[in-house]
Amino acid sequence: MDYETLAEKSLRGLILEREEMRAVLGAPETQLPELLSAAFRVRHHYFGRKVQIHVLQNAKSGLCPEDCHYCSQSSISKAPIDKYPLMPRERLLEGAVKAKVAGAVRYCMVNSGRGPTEREIEELAEVVQEIKSNVPIQLCCSLGLMSEAKIRVLKEAGVERINHNINTSRRHHPNICTTHTYEDRVETLKNVKSVGLTSCCGGIIGMGESQEDIMDMALSLRELDVDSIPINFLHPIPGTPFQGMNHLTPQKCLKTLCLFRFINPTKELRVGGGREIHLRSLQPMSLYPANSIFANGYLTTPGQRATEAHRMIEDLGFEIEEWQGNGH
């Protein structure tokens, strides 16, 4: 397979054929350098050598009625995690300050649960206004299923982006969650776009999906025209139904990232949760297709410290992107 041809198609705005997508996901390990080089060509065209750092804050932990099989905070999880309601304003503001110090362009507050209550929306809106008054950082919220009205309140408070992942393909979704549908998730995404906020939507690789499911998810995200795509790799947390599911290799993760770059060439592509345990020593290679990472941990699991992320980016000869206050 001539991967440069795929890069050329991607740069011209063309969608790869299914057979070409399979060739990417099934690329021989010996051809991985050529594949990464082709994906980097697309990434460099739109994003240069810049890398965005994002920081997550688990603003409300556990206590969730949903049954997402991958999640330590779900109603069916037996994982020993901290459980608490929405954090007080001071803690969330402190988290934003730390995110800025870590070099993050965006601070994302995440709530467990099916969706936020009216009271939680009001409290978060107040927190957002205070953060925007004190910390020069972009704000994202990941709160579950939401109506246009709730999203609009957050937008008016100063939130620039909403995250809500589709997680996998439409076909595979019932195998990972039964308490809400794939369509429920898409509806929230459509509400985000109709209100006029930028959208963040990705998925989790390694949950028993097929190559076809990965391809379908990449195509769905293109069709939904999301602005930011976080690709997570399943961290099989003990106490969750997926605790024994660990079939990923560093090479498989890299090939997946390359596919998402070819299918969504102009979009921010972020290496998310699980990168530390699945990419291992090949983590720096992920920044050839991707242009964004999380640092300082995830929701209930630790991650690469910001200082280590900075060193990794600099060792590659890349540059940490700073938010200039222009909405980018």
Q: Domain with 137 in it: what CATH number? A: 3.20.20.70
Q: HSE-up of 276 (CA within 13 Å, CB side)?
A: 16
d(CA 298, CA 107): 12
The total domain count for the chain is 1
d(CA 125, CA 155): 9
Amino acid at 316: L
Going by pLDDT thresholds of 50, 70 and 90, the confidence category of residue 73 is confident
Q: Does 16 map to a domain? A: no
Question: What's the token pair of residue 47?
Answer: 């994003």
Q: What value does the mean pLDDT take over residues 62-69? A: 83
pLDDT of 80:
79
pLDDT in tens, 206-222: 999 999 999 999 999 99
d(CA 211, CA 168): 11
d(CA 125, CA 325): 20
Q: What value does the mean pLDDT take over residues 214-238? A: 95
What pTM was estimated for this model as a whole? 0.94
Strands 268-271 and 228-233: parallel
Q: Does 206 map to a domain? A: yes
pLDDT of 8:
98
Going by pLDDT thresholds of 50, 70 and 90, the confidence category of residue 228 is very high
pLDDT in tens, 111-139: 888 899 999 999 999 999 999 999 999 99
d(CA 110, CA 30): 39
d(CA 320, CA 219): 29
**By three-state DSSP, how is residue 67 classified?**
coil
Q: Does 123 map to a domain? A: yes
Q: At which residue do the structure tokens 């939680």 appear?
A: 120
pLDDT of 54:
95
pLDDT of 297 > 80? The answer is no
pLDDT of 71:
83
> Which phi-psi region, left, alpha or beta, contains residue 65 (left: φ > 0; alpha: ψ -120 to 50)?
alpha
Q: Does 276 map to a domain? A: no
Q: At which residue do the structure tokens 């979704």 appear?
A: 173
Going by pLDDT thresholds of 50, 70 and 90, the confidence category of residue 326 is very low
> Which phi-psi region, left, alpha or beta, contains residue 22 (left: φ > 0; alpha: ψ -120 to 50)?
alpha
Closest of 19, 37, 2 to residue 254, by C-alpha: 37
Q: Which residues of 106-145 are buried (b: 16+ CB within 10 A; e: fewer)?
A: bbbbbbbbebbeeebbebbbebbebbbeebebbbbbbbbb
pLDDT of 273:
87
Q: Greater confidence, 324 or 57? A: 57
Q: Does 62 map to a domain? A: yes
**By three-state DSSP, how is residue 108 classified?**
strand
pLDDT of 157:
96
pLDDT in tens, 131-166: 999 999 999 999 999 999 999 999 999 999 999 999
* Cα 267 off chain centre by: 12
Percent of the chain predicted with pLDDT > 90? 78
pLDDT of 328:
36
CB neighbours of residue 310 within 10 Å? 17
Find out whether 93 and 124 touch, Cβ atoms under 8 Å: no
Q: Does 12 map to a domain? A: no
In sign, the C-alpha dihedral spanning 7, 8, 11, 17 is: negative
d(CA 285, CA 117): 41
Name the β-bridge partners of 228.
200, 268
pLDDT of 299 > 90? The answer is no
Q: What value does the mean pLDDT take over residues 274-289? A: 95
- The angle, 0 to 180 degrees and rounded to 10, between the axes of the packed helices 211-224 and 18-25 is 120
Name the β-bridge partners of 15.
none
Query: Which backbone phi and psi does 324 adopt, to 5 degrees?
Result: -100, 5
Domain that holds residue 121: 51-248+290-316
Question: What's the token pair of residue 309?
Answer: 């992320």
Q: Does 192 map to a domain? A: yes
Percent of the chain predicted with pLDDT > 70? 97
Going by pLDDT thresholds of 50, 70 and 90, the confidence category of residue 327 is very low
Q: Mean pLDDT of all residues in the chain?
A: 93
Q: What value does the mean pLDDT take over residues 191-210? A: 96
> Catalytic site residues?
64, 68, 71, 108, 140, 200, 270
Find out whether 293 and 270 touch, Cβ atoms under 8 Å: yes
